[in-house]
């Protein structure tokens, strides 16, 4: 797997026509024109996700907004996912992330047979921050907490902040160092187990 470095095209961000109970605007992230199937962790500035029916398969446990879906091409049939549907998708997220930690910050779909789209278009990385300017009716995206280097066309986003190449490289170096440490620990553990099984190493137990 590789890190997500590109955000897909056709994401849109805007204020909904309806408002919250306190009168503030409901801020919408529309993913219905993308292949994105997961709502990431630490997604800020989003009160509502709009997607196609059946599109969203995973929802990060910390997402508190609503998810509205509709059959493709039938906007008038929009509906909000029920509490049960959201809970199931959050459970799916936890299970999938438990099997492969960080899977929702990395790309893997394009490796699957017959995948007809870039792997980066399946997920958004954790740590995206959207904000809305009610005067200009334009949004901003702060992706400095991610490894994103390239951003596609996004409607109503006037400014995007990305991490500098130096910061990205430093994060990649830390990631590689951590992976090497894990590999070393696994290798030592496997060597120890094999040595014990073959009798070339005697286990010693130390009592306190």
Q: Are residues 118 and 91 in the same domain?
A: yes
Q: Are residues 126 and 195 in the same domain?
A: no
Q: What is the pLDDT of residues 8-46, one digit of tens each?
A: 889 999 999 999 889 899 999 999 999 899 999 999 999
State how many domains the chain has.
2
Q: Are residues 7 and 103 in the same domain?
A: yes
Rg over CA atoms, the chain: 21
Q: ∠ CA(49), CA(54), CA(55), 5° rounding?
A: 55
Conformational region of residue 133, where left means phi above 0, alpha means psi within -120 to 50, and beta covers everything else? beta
pTM score, whole prediction: 0.80
Which one-letter DSSP state was computed for residue 10?
Answer: -
Q: What is the pLDDT of residues 60-111, one digit of tens each?
A: 999 999 999 998 878 778 999 999 999 999 999 999 988 887 888 887 655 5
Which one-letter DSSP state was computed for residue 55?
Answer: T
Q: Are residues 93 and 128 in the same domain?
A: yes
Q: What is the pLDDT of residues 162-179, one digit of tens each?
A: 999 999 899 888 888 877
Q: Are residues 130 and 168 in the same domain?
A: no
Q: Are residues 96 and 175 in the same domain?
A: no
What does the pLDDT read at residue 81?
96
Q: Are residues 20 and 69 in the same domain?
A: yes
Asked whether the beta carbons of 122 and 38 are under 8 A apart, the reply is yes
Q: Are residues 137 and 196 in the same domain?
A: no
């Amino acid at each position: 797997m590789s890190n997500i470095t590109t955000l897909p095209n056709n994401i849109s961000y805007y204020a909904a026509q309806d408002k919250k109970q306190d009168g503030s605007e409901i801020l919408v992230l529309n993913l219905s024109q993308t292949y994105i199937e997961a709502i990431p962790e630490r997604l800020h500035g989003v009160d509502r996700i709009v997607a196609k029916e059946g599109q969203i398969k995973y929802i990060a446990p910390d997402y508190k907004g609503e998810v509205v879906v509709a059959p493709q091409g039938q906007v008038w049939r929009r509906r909000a996912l029920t509490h049960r549907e959201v809970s199931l998708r959050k459970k799916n997220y936890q299970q999938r992330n438990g099997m492969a930690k960080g899977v929702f910050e990395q790309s893997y779909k394009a490796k699957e047979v017959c995948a007809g789209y870039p792997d980066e278009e399946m997920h958004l990385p954790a740590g995206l921050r959207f904000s809305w300017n009610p005067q200009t009716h334009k949004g901003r995206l702060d992706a400095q907490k991610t490894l994103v280097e390239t951003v596609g066309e996004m409607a109503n986003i006037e400014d995007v902040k990305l991490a500098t190449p130096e910061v990205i490289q430093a994060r990649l170096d830390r990631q590689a160092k951590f992976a090497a440490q894990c590999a070393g620990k696994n290798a030592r553990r496997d060597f120890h187990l094999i040595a014990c099984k073959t009798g070339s190493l005697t286990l010693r137990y130390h009592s306190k």
